[in-house]
Amino acid sequence: MVQSRRKCPTMGNQERNTYVCNAITEALLEMLKTRSLDSIRIGEITEKAQVSRNSFYRNFASREDIIRQRIMMYLNEWHDRTESEKSEDQRHVYFTLFDIAEQHRDFFLLLHNAGLLYLLQDEFFRNFGPTDEDSEIAAYSKAFFTYSTYGFLETWIKRGMKRSAKEMEAMLAGKES
């Protein structure tokens, strides 16, 4: 099979790498709309993305890693927004999470439909859950926050994300419409 690789002569290395990662990610996400992750081969992803297999292995360890990196991009966005939009109201932390998920609704619903929510759960718990180094109170606090927040998010996704981020925030405040 001949692969036509698009060259990016005006791009620097970082831009080219971003382009390659996005092309690979978008190719996989497109295929996941009709196929299971296990049935998709690396060669099919790179062919659809019009990049080399070497480009894949330079940037990703596995097919799951593609999805994990996209999840991390959204979790980092959540972290950055909550840090920059300091608020005394804890609901704002939740609203920001729901707002980001709502902006990327197709991605999160695709994870659910493809049976891949476990990847979101893994990354969520790995990044926000308790660690062995945490004090006892910190571990329990992190566990409470992580399990309840993830559970709320997962339930919203599994129910089709029909409510808006604002409605979810109101529900958390006990002001359900």
- Tens of pLDDT, residue by residue over 57-76, are 999 999 999 999 999 999 99
Angstrom distance (rounded) from CA 111 to CA 114: 5
Angstrom distance (rounded) from CA 112 to CA 23: 22
Tens of each residue's pLDDT in the chain, 177 residues: 444 444 444 556 888 889 999 999 999 999 999 999 999 999 999 999 999 999 999 999 999 999 999 999 999 999 899 888 877 777 788 899 999 999 999 999 999 999 999 999 999 999 999 999 999 999 999 999 999 999 999 999 999 999 999 999 888 877 765
Domain positions in the chain are: 13-60, 65-172
Distances in Å between the alpha carbon of 10 and those of 6, 16, 148? 12, 9, 47
pTM of the predicted model as reported, rounded to 2 decimal places: 0.86
Angstrom distance (rounded) from CA 46 to CA 31: 12
The class level of CATH for 13-60 reads mainly alpha
- Crossing angle of helices 63-84 and 90-103, in 10° steps, is 140
